[in-house]
Amino acid sequence: MRILITGAAGFLGSHLCDRLLGEGHQVVGMDNFITGRPANLAHLAGNPNFSFIRHDVSNFIFVAGKVDAVMHFASPASPNEQSPLGYVNLPIQTMKAGALGTHNSLGVAYANQARFLLASTSEIYGDPLEHPQKETYWGHVNPIGKRSVYDEAKRFAEALTMAYHRFHGVDTRIVRIFNTYGPRMSIDDGRVVPNFLKQAICGEPLTVYGDGSQTRSFCYVDDLVEGIYRLLLSGEHDPVNIGNPVETTILEFAQAINALTGNPAGVIFKPEARLESDPQRRQPDISRARQVLGWEPRVSLAEGLRHTLPYFEKELGRA
């Protein structure tokens, strides 16, 4: 297939490029570098199966030649208010990437009779009242809260994707991605894994927002990419959760990272840094992924963190 990936210079987009090229596909990457980096794609320079278009997906998308699949991953993704890369600080760009970017990406798929895959998120469940979260849960989102620019844009993107599927017959898929980590996350991204690893490597206390009792379930990037690739090849049109169901409190997670890195500095609580409507609990129910994709994660948290640590050590060395 010849596959367009928007957000290709980001953390997940760049790993997807590698996987798809490895499977023998041709990849057209697209990005405007608002939160991603050319360095994430530098190793693909000169690869005859890879090409790149610098473009903001909020504007009409033109790709010369036939496209067989479109994977829409372009969007800021970190909620952190202290980071310049956080979507709270890029509110209009985030809504435009989710709304106009999804519309333009769907337009490419429709014009090419191509399949389409939307990168949605566990955030569409908001601060969930159902636990763990199944795809049938409709969510609990504050439509005017600070997180809403991301959550509502992704909810709109899902609705638009289903509209193109039902009305235009586009062959669509929706993946609801739960917290994923690994090499190539931007060091200044502000999400909890880059923050904690950076702090641990520097021997600083880990900044736990709130009291650390909130939970997340962390998936290693290779597992996620495997699930997404299976979804792309499947005929599943309904949303599918992809994530690792092993749930941990943020405080336990901080302690695990300190133990792994031998960081003696402990943790520091920063209640004021916790963003409003920060989900208290998050854990994917992956029954549907198991059933329709035969997928489940394989990489443990300890193993995934061991793969990720050298990347951040190298990045910090460079900085």
Q: Interface residues with ligand NAD (CB under 6 A)? A: 6-7, 9-13, 31-36, 56-58, 73-77, 97, 101, 119, 121, 177, 179-180
Interaction of residue 155 with ligand UDP, rule CB under 6 A: no
Beta bridge partners of 242: 177
CA-to-CA dists, residue 5 to 38, 64, 181, 209, 281, angstroms: 14, 14, 19, 33, 31
Beta bridge partners of 64: none
Closest separation in Å from C-beta 174 to ligand UDP: 18
Interior angle at CA 307, CA 291 and CA 278, nearest 5: 65
Among 61, 192, 286, 301, binds ligand UDP (CB under 6 A): 192
Rounded CA separation 8/30 (Å): 6
Interaction of residue 80 with ligand UDP, rule CB under 6 A: yes
Rounded CA separation 267/126 (Å): 27
Catalytic residue among 87, 125, 137, 150: 150
Rounded CA separation 266/281 (Å): 23
**Of the two residues 12 and 197, which places its CB atom closer to ligand NAD in the complex?**
12
| Four-point Cα dihedral 243, 110, 22, 197, nearest 10 | -40
Among 133, 214, 244, 283, binds ligand UDP (CB under 6 A): 214
Residue with tokens 């061991």: 306
Closest separation in Å from C-beta 36 to ligand NAD: 2
Closest separation in Å from C-beta 262 to ligand NAD: 26
- Catalytic, 229? Answer no
Among 68, 278, 296, 313, binds ligand UDP (CB under 6 A): 278
Rounded CA separation 142/152 (Å): 9
**Of the two residues 33 and 138, which places its CB atom closer to ligand NAD in the complex?**
33
Closest separation in Å from C-beta 166 to ligand NAD: 23
Closest separation in Å from C-beta 14 to ligand UDP: 19
26 phi and psi angles, rounded to 5 deg: -95, 140
Interaction of residue 257 with ligand UDP, rule CB under 6 A: no
Residue 123 contacts by C-beta under 8 Å, 6 or more apart in sequence?
A: 141, 147, 150, 151, 154, 279
Contact segment (CB under 6 A) with ligand UDP among 22-30, 202-210, 237-245, 301-309 equals 202-210
Q: Which positions are catalytic?
A: 150
Site for ligand UDP, rule CB under 6 A = 78-80, 179, 191-192, 195, 207-209, 214, 216, 250, 274, 278
